[in-house]
Structure 1
């Protein structure tokens, strides 16, 4: 295998390149905006330079090009791909599946599942916790961790809020399970795709290796979550049950679309499994047509349902308490908007003395010792469920008069596109100026033994994810193990090769769990919690919880991987 690196000697350009690479990562993790010029008058619009996920990596590439630390040829190689890593194939795969999943979300299926689970659990807090853990794990396993974070976070926030419990245990459960379950399938995380495409790991081969570690990791995660959050304040045995009148199916605004989307996703996964045995068929060639089918179906839906039918318009016309025009189209189930709507509802619900529900909530909160107060509290919580459900239903009704295709298109994570392309190019530049060869010399000791390879690569990847974010870390490590020092050792020992590759894959998924900056999902998770007023979860507080949770999960996954390698390469062969 051609390493693609001409020299490992470091010079001034090498250090400049590394500096801008690290600066780009800093601005990805902590975005800033820089004012440009001075505002002449109070009415003059001020311009800003935004350094964030979408702009920092491409800007770093541009600066390196201007200062002649790189050239157009290197940038072209970074965009087109080399050594088995093809950025275009990874992004086509990612956005094809993302479109299918977001389109499926627009049918209301995920909200239906969430409310169905809440009703199944009833007043049993531990059962609700368990069912939501299973739901987020299955959703992440079949789609991706990003889909779970985008669709599940806000609902869990509302479930815990109307139930009167702290959201931290449910939020940590969602985040941990989503990142671990994303190991199960090739398509669960872009980091899986980077490594698998670089080394031609097929869909079925990937799942055969990673399914057991994923199941083991999830089981250990659930056990540790129950231990760490065992206190009643985090995970009460009983919670107020959702009102019996709430019908989860009311969120299936497009029942046929939900069935169609699920069938499309399942057929896509089955096709990926089937084509794993066909030479020359890459995964993006399979997912792209399915993404196109989902797009065509949404266009067809828009043509037929752009204007709601009279029956649809009148479905919630009685007792409509909130103007549809006040509901934000892109903020389904978010705290700030819905709480604003609830304030409108409560302001209209006054008793004879003009006392509103907010005052009633105070009286219940501070006077809950007798049975009468407890009964009032239960009645109030039931009314909160109804109010919030009403607003969510109105949002979905409002969506029917909008273009589903445009809405899905806007909700796709487009910022990942310039970020990913920029990082691919930056890693290519690092390779050209000698850094990947240097790093390979430092890490080649991991190839001495397969146990050392699994443990060492897992630890290195988890740590590097906290410094660089998991996608850049995986791209960089993949290029490092493609260097001659590594490839010579890996080609001589297949067990070591597999240990390195699957240790890297597992580490890139588990490394996303440790801190909020370990992955794009973590950055997105923190942004949702903070901007929507759900939970003020600080960096160190989040890391403290995960330091208690993650070690046992990593040990479990490592042990299963080592056992698999031992059975396949030593016992069987």
Structure 2
């Protein structure tokens, strides 16, 4: 009991420190306790106290109830590497310019980007869409000299909403589908009405919120100032990078049909991009930071290293630490104990409560560990609980930046482009609409279960 109480306190302390990222000054040197340092320190403390061990860490990422956490890690970090490589080619800048030249005003751009983000998410995953579209929106804003915030917020929210249609849209969907043994068609049938409700609610909500901020016209820089040679670093690399991405897109979109699991497809294409970046690194490197000498020749690996650096590796210890917490809570029986609170006589109350509680819980322990935790609690409950968990795990990522891995990654991408996005700013823009989406979609889940 003492160990469980200590672990719970340590868990909430970890959440606080991850959000706060405190700073200390030691000998005139400022040290920031970011989420990587905090997570490693907490993991070390758990091991040192005897509550966890290296075996516990291993078990936490191993298969549990048909759920495989280590595959989730491959999906996330592999996607980040593939999309970062595509961006480094300059192709996304070119696409952004062409996209903007065919758009007359901010309202048209709003609906075009929303629809594009939604359609891409349905056939791929929310993380991949966020990684791909964010640079495009930033480049469009730079070319057209407009505020990117309405478009960035809306497309991010969109990718975390349309992702509920099919279970390939978000790894959390896969977790729920595996826990409830739902196949592709059954999952899609259950989530169609709730997802459609969420889409309509969010589009109307964000349009009403941003309609006065959307520019009446979009004027781009003159074509003379836009040079293809400036944005495309190497045409051969740009062609190969784009071609592989198209193949990658169709592979994951049709993966369930051809029998290729998402994590396997991402692993294969991560390896392809690694080899591609290695082959072109000497040509694309703009400085001599990492040079390997081979006899009388040398090879510049700086470009390869730079693309690897763009992957948010600091998130790895944080995610693993939360997986360890979930595993410890399950071992102590906390999961089984909390499941007793999710037995409601009224199906409507059960649906709404599960949706809201899981959505807010995602912002305490990140949506993927949270979904594993709740799936273990609710696996023997009626299917409306599964649908509510899908809803909460997806929409929970729209409440704060730590509600989903995509949110933390997205804020780091924006920082790369010198755009500041913190939890306070993000929540101010999304909270009300997220609450409306949770409410109306919960009602849609209840309606569906009543009818069918």
- Alpha-carbon distance, 1:112 to partner: 3.0
2-side partners of 1:106 and 1:531: how far apart? 13
Q: 1:531 to 1:417 in 2, by over 3 A?
A: closer
Shift of 1:63: 1.4
Report the 3-state secondary structure (helix = DSSP H, G, I; strand = E; otherwise coil) of the residue aligned with 2:283: coil
> 1:348 maps to which residue?
none
Cα shift readout 1:399-454 (whole Å, capped 9, x = no counterpart)? xx866644433322322322222211111111222322222122233xx4554443
Match of 1:439 in 2: 338
Q: What is the aligned partner in structure 1 of residue 214 from structure 2?
A: 235
The aligned residue for residue 23 of structure 1 is: 13
Instruction: Provide, for residues 222-264 of structure 1, a one-character-per-residue CA deviation record: whole Å limited to 9, x for no partner.
Output: 2221112222xx1132232443457696655412431232123
Once the two structures are TM-superposed, the CA of residue 165 in structure 1 deviates from its matched residue by: 4.1
Query: Which residue matches 2:392?
Result: 507
Aligned residue in 1 for 2:87: 105
Which residue in 2 is equivalent to 1:430? 329
Aligned to 2:69: 87
Contact (CA 8 Å) 1:182, 1:189: kept in 2 or not? yes
Normalising by structure 1, we get a TM-score of: 0.66
User: Please, which runs of 5 or more residues in structure 2 have no aligned partner?
Assistant: 291-299
Pairwise CA distance, 1:185? 4.0
Structure 1 counterpart of 2:293:
none
Superposed counterparts of 1:158-237, under 5 Å: 159-160=140-141, 163-203=144-184, 205-210=186-191, 213-231=194-212, 234-237=213-216
User: Distance in 2 between the 1:294 and 1:203 partners?
Assistant: 29
Asked if 1:263 corresponds to 2:247, the answer is: yes
Superposed CA deviations along residues 385-411 of structure 1, whole A, max 9, x for unmatched, are xxxxxxxxxxxxxxxx86664443332
Q: With the length of structure 2 as denominator, give the TM-score of the two structures.
A: 0.82
For 1:138-537, list aligned pairs within 5 A.
Answer: 138-153=119-134, 155-157=136-138, 159-160=140-141, 163-203=144-184, 205-210=186-191, 213-231=194-212, 234-245=213-224, 251=231, 253=235, 254-275=238-259, 283-299=262-278, 301-302=279-280, 306-307=282-283, 405-445=304-344, 448=345, 450-482=347-379, 487=380, 490=381, 496=382, 498-527=383-412, 529=414, 533-534=418-419
Query: Are residues 294 and 532 of structure 1, via their aligned partners in 2, closer, same or farther at CA, if it must alter by over 3 Å?
Result: closer
Asked whether 1:130 is paired with 2:114, we answer no
- Equivalents in 2 of 1:155, 1:103: separation in Å? 14
Give the number of the structure with larger relative contact order, counting CA–CA contacts within 8 Å between residues 6 or more apart: 1
State the Cα RMSD in Å: 3.6
Q: 1:409 and 1:199, CA in 2 relative to 1: closer, same or farther beyond 3 A?
A: farther
SS of 2:436's partner is helix
Give the Cα–Cα distance (whole angstroms) in 2 for the partners of residues 73 and 325 of structure 1.
43
Change (3 A) 1:554 1:47: closer
For 2:123 and 2:20, locate their aligned partners in 1 and report how far apart those are by CA, in whole Å: 30
Select the residue among 413, 432, 435 that pairs with 1:548: 432
Q: 1:101 to 1:216 in 2, by over 3 A?
A: farther
Structure 2 Cα separation of the partners of residues 306 and 151 of structure 1: 25
Between the aligned partners of 2:135 and 2:84, the Cα distance in structure 1 is 15
Radius of gyration: which is bigger? 1
Farther-moved stretch of structure 1 (430-439 vs 198-207): 198-207
Q: Deviation of residue 475 (structure 1)?
A: 3.1
